[in-house]
Amino acid sequence: MIDLIHTYWLYFLVGQYPQGPLGGVALTVLLAGFALLLSMPFGLAMGLARTSGRRALRWPATGLVYLVRGIPLLLVVFWTYFFLPSVTGHKTDQFNTMLIALVVFDSVYLGEIVRAGIQGVPSGQYESARALGLGHGRAMRSVILPQALRSMLPSLVNQFVSTIKATSLGYIIGLTDTSFIATQINTQVFTKAPQVYLLLSLTYFILCFGLSRFAFALERRLGRRTSSPSPAAAAGPAA
Amino acid sequence: MIEFNNVNKWYGKYHALIDVSEKIGKGEVVVVCGPSGSGKSTLIRTINRLEAIDSGSITFDGEDIHAPGVDINRLRSRIGFVFQQFNLFPHLTVLRNCTLAPQAVGGLSPAQARDKAMALLERVGLAHKADAWPSELSGGQQQRVAIARALAMAPPLMLFDEPTSALDPEMVGEVLLVMRDLVRDGMTLVVVTHEMGFARDVAHRILFMDQGRILERATPREFFDHPQHPRARQFLADIRTPNTAAD
């Protein structure tokens, strides 16, 4: 296994780069990173639309959630890969195809997490923000979302971790990500499949574990900065 | 200052406010009382449009609160509202609770908002808690901060929706003391409360509500000594009998 790593570590990390396209772990990290960064604002928008008082926002968002949630990610990838070019008129490369599919898929799931977070904040918080004269947007930004974020964090990490793993689906459309490279290596070496796939698993595990630890540290820091709401304030309005 | 004209409100099929008409003048202290479910909380919440109404109108200084297109945020910033459950923002310090709206809505600079908030916290006796988190305060202290927070917008009108009902008995006094202080300043107050001692001492008028209607309007003396409506007599008898007074 040592010589396996010794021979292929660079190929595993960056693919054929710089002679060819970037691939391997670097590509996986880039893809997951961009997908997370882009799906956060979209997810936030989805969550706000889902909890909006306006039907013109709420209904389309709800429709999109039901649609995307009802089909496997694999099909979202296929749709992006095979049908997007026929709409836009030019071929999308594998990286961007995967990125678009992940952002669409994640936005929907993140949107539901955001919605749960918003709805978990006692309604008195929104009411008292509005009673002070804050508009809807300002009440959301300054009062509701900061509190919602705290309870959303564990679910957000879940989704982020599953995004890292979902990048491996790029394999089926020929994206040279970590899984693809590992398979290539396996084909070349041929006799060391368990070792290769153990390394591949370890790689995903390290990425996900790292993110989880980072999120945990963040959660602790947020928890230290403020204390939890008092039982009376959390009890909600009485009759 | 506030004028209700034939206000009606339904929750589904439940008729929560029935043909309510009433005028509240500048500088008046009005206590609204009545059994639970009588519509008194609903009534006070319609004044700043936390509850919508189905017919009639409510004006505040001549402006129709429930008219479509009215700048409700501007109006609300002139109507202080204090909740039963305090509703302080738990993720913000006491001081920040009091400076958020003045900066975001009132357009004050951080320094101005801070000075003003500190003066108000001083007034409610909690300047030393400015940097504390709401969860570190007792219920009575939280409610006093909530009052300071509402006062920070310098509203000419303050509404209190059962401000002492969620408090332990020993903390009721400190909150009522702050409210009495506002009355001394000549502020207009509408207070929904079960604190009959407070009502008797500081109210200019008492509105007694039951089943969505204002059944009696009287001075505290008239109301407590010579209630006219049978429901009012029943209500006063109930709250004076210790066995049934517990809620």
Residue of B nearest to A126 (CA): B87
Residue A32 CA to residue A162 CA, distance in Å, equals 10
At residue A91, does pLDDT exceed 50?
yes
Q: How far apart are the first and last CA of chain A?
A: 68
At residue A223, does pLDDT exceed 80?
no
- Please tell me the predicted confidence (pLDDT) of residue A225: 60
Alpha-carbon A208 to chain mean position = 12
Mean pLDDT of chain A: 89
At residue A23, does pLDDT exceed 50?
yes
What ipTM score was computed for the predicted complex, to two decimals?
0.92
Determine contact, residues B208/B214, Cβ cutoff 8 Å: yes
**Choice among A229-233, B127-131, B154-158 with the minimum mean pLDDT:** A229-233
Residues 6+ apart with CB under 8 A from A239: B36, B37
Residues 113-132 of A with CB under 8 A from B: 122, 124-125, 127-132
| pLDDT tens digits along B172-223 | 999 999 999 999 999 999 999 999 999 999 999 999 999 999 999 999 999 9
List the B157-161 sheet strands across, edge first.
B79-82, B157-161, B188-192, B29-33, B205-210, B213-218
- Please tell me the predicted confidence (pLDDT) of residue A212: 92
Shortest alpha-carbon distance between residue A49 and chain B (Å): 21
Over residues A26-38, mean pLDDT: 94
Residues of B in contact with A133 (CB under 8 A): 73-78, 101, 105-106, 153
Asked if the C-beta of A137 comes within 8 angstroms of chain B's C-beta atoms, the answer is no
Over residues B73-83, mean pLDDT: 96
Determine contact, residues B193/B161, Cβ cutoff 8 Å: no
Percentage above 70 pLDDT, chain A: 93
Shortest alpha-carbon distance between residue B150 and chain A (Å): 7
Over residues A153-171, mean pLDDT: 93
Residue of A nearest to B39 (CA): A239
Shortest alpha-carbon distance between residue A141 and chain B (Å): 11
Asked if the C-beta of B107 comes within 8 angstroms of chain A's C-beta atoms, the answer is no
Residue B148 CA to residue B126 CA, distance in Å, equals 9
Over residues A204-212, mean pLDDT: 94
Residues of B in contact with A134 (CB under 8 A): 73, 100-101, 104-105
Shortest alpha-carbon distance between residue B217 and chain A (Å): 24
Q: For an interface test with B, give the residue of A141, A228, A230 to mutate (most B CBs within 10 A).
A: A230
Across A1-15, A102-116, A164-178, which has the greatest mean pLDDT? A102-116
Residues of A in contact with B154 (CB under 8 A): none
| pLDDT tens digits along A225-239 | 655 444 444 443 433
